[in-house]
Amino acid sequence: MEIIINEYNNYEHGEIMNLYKSVGWCSYTERPDMLRKAFEHSLKILGAHDGEKLIGIIRAVGDGYSILFIQDILVLPEYQRKGIGRKLINAMLELYPDVYQTELATDSTEKTVAFYKSCGFLPYPEIGCEGFMKIKY
């Protein structure tokens, strides 16, 4: 298995929907037009491929100078726990080495907290901050 990570420029509806469905992100799959527009307006998107197969994606928004917000990072379940998520994060961070703050929001599970901490991210309370979010359902 040779995983290649490169810029993802051509939105392919079927493969993107398959990826989001595989990890149960129905808030995106139930709004396909919103997802397509989100991809079109992202700062940067990187894809992980095993041959021709899209197996992971990382999508960032922001200005790339003061803030880089990792909006989505997904890896097909059968490829998880093989270092692909970490490779995607590192590849994105290498593109913006001088950005002031890199943020992300994730599920509050032991698994996800441990993963992002191992990648150098800290929960807001550990740096004296609080996070807030307003979601339109």
The pLDDT value given to residue 106? 87
The pLDDT value given to residue 1? 74
Query: For the domain that residue 87 is a member of, what is the CATH number?
Result: 3.40.630.30
Does residue 64 fall inside a structural domain?
A: yes
pTM of the model: 0.92
List the beta strands (DSSP E) in 8-106: 44-50, 53-62, 67-75, 101-104
Does residue 124 fall inside a structural domain?
A: no
Please count the structural domains in the chain. Answer: 1
Question: What is the span of the domain harbouring residue 44?
Answer: 3-104
Does residue 134 fall inside a structural domain?
A: no
What are the backbone dihedrals phi and psi of residue 8, each rounded to the nearest 5 degrees, phi first? -105, 105
Query: What would the pLDDT profile of 31-75 be if each residue is shown by its tens digit?
Result: 999 999 999 999 999 999 999 999 999 999 999 999 999 999 999
Does residue 57 fall inside a structural domain?
A: yes
Query: What would the pLDDT profile of 68-126 be if each residue is shown by its tens digit?
Result: 999 999 999 999 999 999 999 999 999 999 999 999 988 888 988 999 999 999 999 99
